[in-house]
Amino acid sequence: MKVLFDKEKPLEDRISKLETVVSRLARRSKKVTSAIIPPVPISSYASGEDVKGDILKYMFTARGVIEKVILILDRKPSMGVIVNISISNDAGGSSKNYIVTNKSSIFGPNVEVFSSDKLSISINPIDKEKDVITEAWVAFTWVPHVSDSKIESCLIDGLEKSLSEMFEET
């Protein structure tokens, strides 16, 4: 075992060495990093002879915001397609409607959701005879609320140690 303080040296030298050690430890303790889990992409696909109604259902386990929805249809609708985004829970619910006139659409409902909220995204062509949909892709980005995000904080030394251990295993 390495002796940190030589008891034969004068008290001033031992105090000086202790100050050096404490200042180095203080510098290291300020080197902290944080990693936040990124937004969650969720998607679904529906196909058939006449796709309409619900094309995606999802239940949330934590609070967050639906920021972006992407819808891709098999063809451009002649009159348009009504997209309904509905959020429901035991207390009630809310919905937003959009009219999509392109084969591919992106919109941001910015809807806040809570744990156990149920999401339903449905599509219905305005002209059901002309606009028969056979394929629909839908995806949305859900951003968890900071209070429900898992945030890992560690000293840089600990992170470097974890990374080196990980690379040694491979």
- Domain of residue 117, CATH code: 2.60.120.40
25 has a pLDDT exceeding 80:
no
End-to-end Cα, the chain, rounded Å = 32
pLDDT digits (tens, 9 = 90+) for 85-139: 999 999 999 999 999 999 999 998 899 999 999 999 999 999 999 999 999 999 9
- Which is more confidently placed, 147 or 44? 44
In a domain, 135, yes or no: yes
pLDDT confidence bin for 145, thresholds 50/70/90: confident
In a domain, 162, yes or no: no
In a domain, 166, yes or no: no
Under a CB-based contact definition with an 8 Å cutoff, are residues 66 and 145 in contact?
no
In a domain, 82, yes or no: yes
Percent of the residues in the chain that have a pLDDT greater than 90, as a whole number: 59
Task: Spell out where 49-103 has E strands.
Answer: 53-59, 64-73, 81-89, 92-100
Q: What is the pLDDT of residue 11?
A: 81
How much is the average pLDDT of 162-170?
59
Global confidence as pTM? 0.68
80 has a pLDDT exceeding 80:
yes
Q: What is the pLDDT of residue 150?
A: 63
Task: Count the domains in the chain.
Answer: 1
In a domain, 18, yes or no: no
CB-neighbour burial class of residue 144 (10 A; exposed 0-12, middle 13-18, buried 19+): buried
pLDDT confidence bin for 162, thresholds 50/70/90: low
In a domain, 110, yes or no: yes
In a domain, 163, yes or no: no
Q: How far is CA 128 from CA 120, 124, 132, in A?
A: 21, 8, 6
Q: What is the pLDDT of residue 59?
A: 97
Under a CB-based contact definition with an 8 Å cutoff, are residues 31 and 156 in contact?
yes
Q: What is the pLDDT of residue 4?
A: 63
Average model confidence (pLDDT) across the chain = 85
Q: Could you tell me where the DSSP H helices lie in the chain?
A: 11-29, 156-169
28 has a pLDDT exceeding 80:
no
Tokens 């919109």: give the residue. 107
Q: What is the pLDDT of residue 87?
A: 96
Q: How far is CA 13 from CA 4, 20, 32, 101, in A?
A: 12, 11, 31, 80
In a domain, 75, yes or no: yes
170 has a pLDDT exceeding 90:
no
Q: Which domain holds residue 92?
A: 40-148
